[in-house]
Structure 1
Amino acid sequence: MSATPLPSRRLFLGMLGTAAAVPLASTGVLTLGSRSASAATTSPFVMAYFTWSPRNLGTDYGLHLAVSTDALQWMPLNQNNPVVTPTAGDGGLRDPFILPKQDGAFVVMATNLKGTDWTKKTPYIHVWDSADLRSFDNYRLLKLHDMATHTWAPEAFWDPSRGQYALIYSAVNSSGHNVIMVNYTTDFQTVTAPQVFFDPGYDIIDGTLAKDVNGVNYLYYKGRNSLVGARSTSLAPGSFTQFTSGLAPQGGIEGPILAEASGTWYLWGDANGLFYTWQTNDLSTGTWTATDRRVYTQPLNSKHADIKPIPQTVYDNMVATWGKPAWNRLKSYNFPDRYWRHVDSLGRIDPYPFDPYTDSQWKLVPGLADPSGVSFQSLNQPTRYLRHSFYKLRLDANDGTTRFAQDATFRQVAGLADPSWSSFRSYNYPDRYIRHFAYELRLDPIATATARSDATFRLTY
Structure 2
Amino acid sequence: MPPAPHASRRTFLGLTATVPLALSGALTLGAGTARAADSAYVMGCFTESPSGNGTDYGLHLAVSTDALNWTPLNQNNPVVTPTEGAGGLRDPFILRKQDGTFIVLATDLKGTDWSYVSQYVHVWNSADLRTFTGYHRLKLHDMNTHSWAPEAYWDAGRGQYGIIYSAVNDSGHNVIMVNYTTDFVTASAPQVFFDPGYDVIDGDLAVGVNGVNYLYFKSSSAQALVGARSTSLTPGSFTAFSTGVAHGGTEAPILVKSQASGTWWLWGDTYTPNGVFYAWQSSSLSAGTWTAVDQRTYTQPVNSKHATIQPITTAEYNNLLAKWGAPAWNRLKSYNYPARYVRHSDYVGRIDEYPFDPYQDSQWKLVPGLADSTGVSFQSVNYPTRYLRHSDYQLRLDVGDGTSTFAQDATFYRTAGLADASWSSFRSYNYPTRYIRHSNYVLRIDPVSTATEQQDATFRVGY
1:121-132 superposed matches below 5 A: 121-132=117-128
Greater CA drift, 96-105 or 238-247: 238-247
Stretches (4+) displaced over 4 A = 26-29
Say if 1:29 and 1:220, in contact at 8 Å, map to a contact too. Answer: no
1:309 matched residue in structure 2: 311
Question: What corresponds to 2:266 in structure 1?
Answer: 267
Conserved? CA contact 2:11–2:94, under 8 Å: no
- Give the residue type in structure 1 aligned to 2:106: A
Structure 1 residue 29: Cα displacement = 4.2
Answering whether residue 251 of structure 2 is matched by residue 254 of structure 1, we say yes
Comparing 325-334 with 264-273, which one deviates more in the overlay? 264-273
Alignment partners' CA distance in 1, 2:366 and 2:162: 46
Corresponding residue for residue 37 of structure 1: 32
Residue identity opposite 1:257 in structure 2: I
Aligned to 1:84: 80
Deviations 1:244-297 (A, max 9, x none): 2321122x1111111111221000000131101000010000110000100000
Q: Please, what is the CA RMSD of the aligned residues?
A: 1.2
Question: What corresponds to 2:138 in structure 1?
Answer: 142
- Sequence identity (%): 69
Equivalences for residues 31-430 of structure 1 within 5 A: 31-34=13-16, 35=29, 36-40=31-35, 43-223=39-219, 224=221, 225-250=223-248, 252-261=249-258, 262=260, 263-271=262-270, 272=272, 273-430=275-432
Provide the C-alpha distance between the structure 2 equivalents of 1:427 and 1:175, rounded to a whole number of angstroms.
67
Deviation at 1:412, TM superposition (A): 0.2
Determine the C-alpha separation between the residues in 2 that align with 1:314 and 1:27.
24
Distance 1:441 1:103 in 2: 52
CA distance in 2, matches of 1:69, 1:304: 20
| Aligned residue type for 1:73 | N
| Partners of 1:197 and 1:110 in 2: CA distance | 19
User: 2: distance between equivalents of 1:64 and 1:313?
Assistant: 20
Structural mapping, 1:1-16, within 5 Å: none
Shift of 1:402: 0.3
Does the aligned pair in 1 maintain the 2:9–2:92 contact within 8 Å?
no
For 1:302 and 1:365, locate their aligned partners in 2 and report how far apart those are by CA, in whole Å.
26
Instruction: Give the 3-state SS of the residue equivalent to 2:319 in structure 1.
Output: helix
- SS at 2:378's partner residue? strand
Q: Does the CA-based 8 Å contact 1:64-1:82 persist in structure 2? A: yes
3-state SS of 1:218 partner: strand
Quote the Cα distance in structure 2 between the aligned partners of 1:243 and 1:413: 48
Q: C-alpha offsets along residues 155-203 of structure 1, whole Å, 9 cap, x if unaligned?
A: 0000000000000000011111110000000000110110000000001
1:39 Cα offset (Å): 2.2
The question of whether the paired residues in 1 share the 8 Å contact of 2:10 and 2:150 is answered with no
Question: Cα deviation per residue 1:57-92 (whole Å; 9 max; x = unaligned)?
Answer: 000000000000000010000000000000111000
**Is the contact between residue 213 and residue 231 of structure 2 (CA under 8 Å) also seen in structure 1?**
yes
Between 1:337-346 and 1:308-317, the stretch displaced more is: 308-317
Over 3 Å counting, the alpha-carbon distance change for 1:237 and 1:175 in structure 2 is: same
Partners of 1:376 and 1:386 within 8 A in 2: yes
Compared with structure 1, are the counterparts of its residues 234 and 206 closer, same or farther at alpha carbon in structure 2 (3 Å cutoff)?
A: same
Mean Cα deviation higher: 216-225 or 389-398 = 216-225
Answer whether contact 1:27 1:220 (CA < 8 A) is retained: no
Gaps in structure 2 of 5+ consecutive residues: 1-7, 17-28
Structure-2 change in CA distance of 1:128 and 1:98 (3 Å) = same
Q: How far apart, CA to CA, are the structure 1 residues paired with 2:439 and 2:187? A: 58
Rounded to whole Å, the distance in 1 between the matches of 2:405 and 2:313 is 50
Q: What amino acid is aligned across from residue 134 of structure 1 in structure 2?
A: R
CA contact (8 A) 1:72 1:296 kept: yes
Deviation at 1:38, TM superposition (A): 1.8
Query: Which residue identity lines up with residue 57 of structure 2 in the other structure?
Result: Y
Conserved 8 A contact 2:9-2:90:
no
**Counterparts of 1:79 and 1:310, CA distance in 2:** 20
Measured against aligned partners, the alpha-carbon deviations of 1:116-152 in whole angstroms (never above 9, x if no partner) come to 0111111000000000000010100100001110000
- Unaligned 5+ segments in structure 1 are 1-25
User: Match of 1:165, as an amino acid?
Assistant: Y
Counterpart secondary structure, 2:290: strand
* Native 8 Å contact 2:243 2:289 kept in 1: no
Aligned counterpart for 1:431 among listed residues 433, 441, 453:
433
Per the alignment, residue 20 of structure 2 pairs with: none
Aligned residues between the structures = 435
Q: Tell me, in whole angstroms, the C-alpha distance in 2 between the residues paired with 1:245 and 1:147.
A: 33
- Contact 1:204/1:221, CA 8 A, preserved across alignment: yes
Structure 2 residue identity aligned to 1:226: A
Aligned residues of 1:46 and 1:67 also touching (Cα < 8 A): yes
- CA separation of 1:27 and 1:213: change in aligned 2, threshold 3 A: farther
